[in-house]
Amino acid sequence: MRAAPLAVTALAAALLLTACDDGGDSSADRASASPKSGSTCALGTVDLEVGPANVAPAAGDTGNIPVTLTNQSAPCTLEGFPAVDLKASDSTVGLAEDKAAQPQKLTLAKGDTASFTITYVRAEPGAAGSLDVRTLDIALPGDGTRKSYKWSYGPVQGKSGTADALNASVSAFAQAGD
């Protein structure tokens, strides 16, 4: 009866190869092992709600604008940070990612919500180095589509006396709701 020794030998070889694994995954292994939990969320399949905002009442004050996404379609994923641009009549400035935020991968089933927050410092109207924002543009990671909203929160203060970099940031996505 030679079948038993062959099966034992095959099992021993498999265990030996497993024992030699250093525990590290190559990028190809991680990519193929990542769960297929749905496609990337896109603006065409999620509803966005901007606000209500905690508006900065005066120059030098900080305001926060929550943005809530609700998935209206098949399960999809969000990972990282949204792309947020603030536009004036003659320029556009992309917001920096909040350095304290820890991005995570979220899977949203139909009806699930996630949110992120835009934080900004209000400037004096017409102040040098500020941006008189008129429009807020939002794009989701992996989706080239942008959606625009009217900005009604006043001018935004620039960093170091220039409007090329604003005193504003965007947080990572966070799960919202129950």
Residue 18 lies in a domain: no
Residue 51, class by beta-carbon neighbours within 10 Å (0-12 exposed, 13-18 middle, 19+ buried)?
Answer: middle
For residue 145, what is the domain's CATH number? 2.60.40
Residue 4 lies in a domain: no
Show the domain range for 162. Answer: 39-176
Q: Of 176, 150, 154, nearest to 167 (Cα)?
A: 154
Beta strands in 3-159 (DSSP E): 39-40, 46-50, 62-71, 76-79, 83-87, 92-94, 96-97, 105-108, 113-121, 130-131, 135-139, 147-150, 156-159
User: For residue 7, what pLDDT is reported?
Assistant: 38
Structure token digits, residue 94: 């992309």
Residue 15 lies in a domain: no
Q: For 33-70, write each residue's pLDDT tens digit.
A: 333 446 999 999 999 999 999 999 999 999 999 999 99
Strands 92-94 and 105-108: unpaired
Residue 23 lies in a domain: no
How many domains are contained in the chain? Answer: 1
Q: For 89-102, write each residue's pLDDT tens digit.
A: 889 999 999 998 88
Structure token digits, residue 161: 């006396």
Residue 2 lies in a domain: no
**Percentage of the chain lying above the pLDDT 90 cut:** 63
Structure token digits, residue 95: 């917001």
Residue 135 lies in a domain: yes
User: For residue 1, what pLDDT is reported?
Assistant: 45
Residue 34 lies in a domain: no
pLDDT tops 50 at residue 128: yes
